[in-house]
Amino acid sequence: MSLFDDVLDDSSFAPEQFGPQEGFAGTLLAASACDGHIADEEVGTLVTTLVRMKMYQHVPPHKFNSMMDRLMGVLKRGGPEKLIAAAVPAIPPELRETAFANACDIVLADGVVEPDEKEFIDDLMIKLEMDKNRAKTIVQVMVFKNQG
């Protein structure tokens, strides 16, 4: 335990509630960072995924950048765990499988699946309340997509 833990209130790092856009983007950003670093390929996949989605089409660039800065702040202060804890509840039920599939795609983007990334995907499946067989099918499809 740190000396700061006795003095500082950890709740000061709690982010405001996220909306669906922040929840979805935050989940993908946490997937990018879950192994301790964010690879260029992961960033590319993250940005490409978000800008292609309908829910971000009418977000002006300055608002999109502000949202990503806010998410990065949560990530830097609390790590992927804190970011995912705030992000997942904001994802609408109809986008949970989509978020999971895209998180898998990001984890696979750099060509290596680290143990931390495997654990992250397993935990994400649980947090998104997904059926294990459905999640396995999504993982298989994403592996096929990223081969070669």
Give the predicted TM-score (pTM) of the model.
0.88
Q: What is the distance of C-alpha 10 from the center of its chain?
A: 22
Nearest Cα residue to 143 out of 99, 105, 112, 86: 105
CA separation for the pair 104, 113 (Å, rounded): 10
Contact assessment for residue 29 and residue 71, using Cβ atoms and an 8 Å cutoff: yes
pLDDT tens for 80-131 read 999 999 999 999 999 999 999 999 999 998 888 999 999 999 999 999 999 9
Which CATH code for domain 18-145? Answer: 1.10.3680.10
> What are the structural domain ranges in the chain?
18-145
CA separation for the pair 17, 90 (Å, rounded): 8
